[in-house]
């Protein structure tokens, strides 16, 4: 690194620090309503139309429905058998883009198999009385199965064309994130029925899995579609340090474990790492050290809270906060850390169709919160 680059980096760091200080000074207390308690490690949520409630996954295996009158259902019927161990279990939930017609609910989860465990995605039809899923079928499996309990990903998001994106962790098997014949450390892009879109970047390339959209990811646990550009935004856990925000594009390599700003827990370098930025790999769009340990994310576009319009919310587990990033175009212009005084790990954040911000906290007594400025 030459002196001019060093100076630019320091100047960049100073600009971020200044922005932090400024937004910190402008920060005001938020109003927080506890809507439900006693959720067992809730992980993901999805809003049913017409105010019918929120589907919530619990990592321990249940899909439950919270209704606006405060009622929290027991486990819905018809959900898959999951491997609820360590970081695995029932993970994300998303509604079909045509939910009003097809009533399909998508779930991601960890499952056991030959050699270890991995991420799977399936879908079932929500019964008319919302009591359970009918005809649940697996549409995708991460292969091979290499996890012993860690790094499953696995956020779900449909883009504007109705394609399903899934984040897949590296299963804590670092080098596999660079292997195009494996589904560890990848983002995949699927048709809604799980088949492979023929315009995926690696279709037809020998030795590469055609499901892959982007690769070189460690463990992306947040994903959202940008409301104006339609691009796929993700956050990703670094190791110790180096948590990333990425805008993932077709066929690109996001670096892990060759390029990282993080080190192993305890401070030893990542064995495969060649530097923070490595030619042929995409640098992070934005990077955080120390690691907040990001979780779910959501863009805020509603007019309900004008002071939050245009923000990007991201949950943080280790930092026990809700990050509100302000954006200038795609650039991160500032950040504010909300809910820190509560001392709770944040697992997911989503914005409802009517512009309310909902948060899940991660514990054996997890909560559903509604946050307002």
Catalytic residues: 151
Q: Which stretch binds Ca ion (CB under 5 A): 65-73, 103-111, 189-197, 248-256?
A: 248-256
* Contact window for Ca ion (CB under 5 A) among 8-16, 164-172, 254-262, 286-294: 254-262
Query: Smaller CB distance to Ca ion: residue 213 or 254?
Result: 254
All residues at 6 or more sequence positions from 46 whose CB lies less than 8 Å from its CB, including other chains: 54, 55, 93, 94, 95, 105, 350
- Indicate the residue among 119 and 235 with the shorter CB distance to Ca ion: 235
The reply to whether 255 sits near Ca ion by the rule CB under 5 A is yes
Q: Name the minimum Å distance from CB 271 to Ca ion.
A: 16
The nearer residue to Ca ion, 203 or 278, going by C-beta atoms, is 278
With contacts defined by CB under 5 A, how many residues of the chain interact with Ca ion? 2
Binding of residue 262 to Ca ion (CB under 5 A): no
Q: Which of residues 313-332 bind Ca ion (CB under 5 A)?
A: none
CB closer to Ca ion out of 103 and 261: 261
The 19-38 contact track toward Ca ion, x by CB under 5 A, reads --------------------
How far CA 350 is from CA of 124, 222, 239, 354, in Å, comes to 22, 11, 25, 11
**Which residues are registered as beta bridge partners of 204?**
none
Longest CA–CA separation in the chain, Å: 65
Window contacting Ca ion (CB under 5 A); options: 171-179, 247-255, 299-307, 343-351:
247-255
Q: Closest Cα partner for 159 from 125, 127, 199? A: 199
Cα torsion 221, 39, 61, 79 to 10°: value is -100
Q: How far apart are CA 278 and CA 281, in angstroms?
A: 6
Q: Please confirm whether the linkage preceding 257 is cis (ω < 30° from 0).
A: yes
Which of 254, 288, 300, 358 contacts Ca ion by CB under 5 A?
A: 254
Distance CA 134, CA 58 (A): 19
In terms of CB distance, is 265 or 354 closer to Ca ion? 265
Q: Token pair for residue 321?
A: 């906060």
User: In whole angstroms, how close is the CB of 279 to Ca ion at the nearest point?
Assistant: 14
Q: How far is the CB of 317 from Ca ion (least distance, A)?
A: 19
Segment contacting Ca ion by CB under 5 A, of 11-19, 112-120, 198-206, 249-257: 249-257
| Window contacting Ca ion (CB under 5 A); options: 86-94, 185-193, 253-261, 314-322 | 253-261
Please report how close the Cβ of residue 173 comes to Ca ion at its closest, in angstroms: 16
Is the CB of 254 or the CB of 308 nearer to Ca ion?
Answer: 254
Please state the closest distance from residue 284 (CB atom) to Ca ion, in A: 5
Shortest Å distance, C-beta 222 to Ca ion: 14
Query: How far apart (Å, rounded) are the C-alpha atoms in residues 225 and 24?
Result: 27
User: CB of 187 within 8 A of CB of 157?
Assistant: no
Contact between 283 and 261 under an 8 Å Cβ cutoff? The reply is no
Residue nearest to Ca ion (CB): 255
- Residues making contact with Ca ion (CB under 5 A): 254-255
């Amino acid at each position: 690194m030459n002196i001019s680059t060093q100076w630019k980096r320091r100047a960049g760091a100073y600009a971020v620090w200044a922005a932090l200080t400024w937004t910190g000074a402008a920060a005001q207390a938020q109003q927080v309503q506890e809507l439900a308690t006693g959720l067992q490690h809730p992980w993901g949520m999805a809003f049913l139309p017409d105010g019918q409630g929120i589907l919530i996954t619990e990592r321990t295996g249940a899909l439950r429905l919270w209704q606006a009158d405060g009622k929290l259902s027991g486990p819905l019927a018809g959900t898959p058998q999951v491997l609820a161990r360590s970081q695995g279990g029932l993970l994300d939930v998303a509604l079909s883009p045509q939910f009003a017609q097809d009533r399909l609910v998508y779930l991601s989860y960890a499952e056991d198999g030959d050699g270890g465990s991995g991420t799977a995605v399936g879908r079932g039809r929500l019964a008319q009385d919302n009591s359970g899923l009918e005809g649940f079928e697996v549409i995708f499996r991460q292969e091979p199965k290499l996890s012993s309990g860690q790094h499953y990903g696995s956020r779900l998001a449909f883009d504007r064309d109705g394609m399903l994106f899934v984040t897949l962790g590296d299963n804590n098997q670092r080098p596999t994130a660079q292997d195009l014949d494996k589904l560890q450390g990848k983002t995949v892009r699927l048709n809604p029925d799980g088949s492979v879109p023929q315009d995926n970047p690696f279709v037809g390339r020998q030795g590469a899995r055609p499901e892959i959209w982007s690769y070189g990811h460690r463990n992306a646990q947040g994903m959202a579609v940008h409301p104006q550009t339609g691009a796929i935004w993700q956050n990703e856990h670094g190791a110790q340090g180096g948590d990333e925000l990425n805008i993932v594009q077709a066929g690109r390599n996001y670096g892990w474990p060759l390029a990282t700003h993080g080190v192993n827990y305890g401070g030893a370098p990542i064995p495969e790492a060649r530097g923070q930025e490595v030619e042929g790999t995409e640098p992070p769009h934005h990077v955080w050290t120390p690691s907040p340990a990001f979780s779910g994310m959501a863009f805020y576009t509603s007019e309900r809270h004008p002071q939050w319009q245009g923000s990007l919310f991201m949950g943080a587990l280790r930092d026990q906060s809700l990050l509100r990033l302000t954006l200038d175009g795609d650039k991160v212009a500032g950040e504010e850390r909300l809910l820190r005084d509560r001392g709770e790990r944040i697992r997911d954040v989503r914005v409802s169709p009517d512009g309310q911000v909902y948060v899940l906290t991660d514990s054996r007594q997890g909560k559903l919160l509604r946050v307002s400025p």
